């Protein structure tokens, strides 16, 4: 450990600073210069809540005991205007049929509120609990795609949650067969006026396909490239400048990989 990293982990008095335990299937988001982390799975499912100070290189444990979510895994978290939005990942599927699994955390007041949208019997007014979906922010909305419901199978639902009205809308494309279909464990990222979705599991098969959802025309298109990452599930993707970076993931019964891939939007090439 170099000196700066050692001081960040141990502090001036030599007492070890708190930090999150090893985990996977957690969710992170960046909000106002801090990295927030919630839940996931270590040896058991977790419900701890952390904030990372990027300047100080320090972790801080936050309180989620009162109104925060329970143990979550394979949930999503996005940030918008000083609030965090955590969706899905609830463990007890029998309990979750009765409510929409969306929690909102105000970083200024440090308060949790739970979305009170009750799913209808048809589940058409708000999405039901799911895991392994993707969540992105575009303009004043969060967009949720796919995921799985446990024994009920995989979803190809596409939902929009409007932050200002706190209302859900089912985003329907003209023909479901023209889109990515039912999948989970994929990644999604927004660049300009489109969402780019990569990989994940369709049935029992890992994918390496790349899809583009155009918010302007509300339509899917498949982007065919000769090269690119191998089939992946459980990876992460972000947009940086004019590229999408994809890291990690893997396929079933194999070790996860530590490859980093870059997709350049203008040239439509992988590196």
Per residue in 29-57, pLDDT tens? 999 999 999 999 999 999 999 999 999 99
Closest Cα partner for 171 from 141, 192, 202, 197? 141
Inform me whether the pLDDT recorded for 3 exceeds 50. Answer: no
Q: Place 5 in a pLDDT band, splitting at 50, 70 and 90.
A: very low
Looking at residues 100-120, what average pLDDT do you find? 84
Kindly tell me the burial class for residue 69, based on how many C-beta atoms sit within 10 Å of its own C-beta (0-12, 13-18, 19 or more). buried
CA distances in angstroms from 129 to 65, 74, 219, listed in the order given: 21, 11, 25
Contacts of 24 (CB under 8 A, 6+ apart): 40, 41, 234
Per residue in 124-140, pLDDT tens? 588 989 999 999 999 99
CA distances in angstroms from 25 to 36, 132, 206, 217, listed in the order given: 14, 9, 17, 33
Q: What is the model's pTM?
A: 0.90
CA distances in angstroms from 99 to 88, 126, 174, listed in the order given: 11, 9, 29
Per residue in 229-261, pLDDT tens? 999 999 999 999 999 999 999 998 899 999 999
Q: How far apart are alpha carbons 130 and 105 in whole angstroms?
A: 20
* pLDDT the model gives residue 120: 47
Lowest mean pLDDT among 51-55, 169-173, 220-224: 169-173
Mean pLDDT of the chain: 89
* pLDDT the model gives residue 30: 97
Q: Name the percent of the chain lying above pLDDT 70.
A: 87
Per residue in 193-215, pLDDT tens? 999 999 999 999 999 999 999 99
Per residue in 7-26, pLDDT tens? 445 555 556 789 999 999 99
């Amino acid at each position: 450990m170099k000196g700066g990293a050692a001081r960040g982990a141990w502090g001036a008095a030599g007492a070890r600073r708190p930090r999150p335990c090893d985990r996977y299937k957690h969710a992170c988001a960046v909000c106002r210069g801090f990295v927030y982390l919630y839940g996931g799975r270590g040896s058991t499912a977790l419900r701890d809540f952390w904030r990372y100070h990027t300047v100080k290189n320090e972790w801080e444990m936050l309180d989620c005991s009162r109104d925060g979510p329970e143990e979550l895994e394979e949930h999503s978290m996005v940030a918008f205007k000083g609030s965090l939005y955590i969706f899905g990942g609830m463990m007890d599927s029998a309990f979750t049929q009765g409510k929409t699994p969306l929690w909102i955390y105000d970083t200024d007041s440090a308060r949790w509120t739970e979305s009170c949208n009750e799913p209808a019997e048809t589940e058409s007014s708000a999405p039901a609990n799911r895991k392994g979906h993707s969540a992105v922010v575009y303009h004043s909305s969060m967009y949720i795609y796919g995921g799985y419901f446990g024994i009920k199978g995989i979803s190809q639902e596409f939902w929009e949650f409007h932050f200002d009205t706190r209302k859900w809308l089912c985003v329907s494309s003209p023909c479901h067969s023209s889109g990515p279909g039912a999948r989970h464990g994929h990644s999604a990222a927004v660049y300009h006026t489109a969402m780019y979705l990569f990989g994940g599991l369709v049935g029992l098969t890992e994918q390496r396909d790349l899809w583009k959802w155009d918010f302007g025309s509300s339509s899917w298109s498949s982007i065919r490239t000769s090269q690119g990452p191998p089939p992946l599930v459980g990876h992460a993707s972000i947009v940086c400048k004019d590229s999408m970076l994809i890291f990690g993931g893997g396929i079933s019964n194999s070790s996860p990989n530590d490859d980093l891939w870059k997709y350049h939007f203008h040239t439509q090439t992988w590196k």
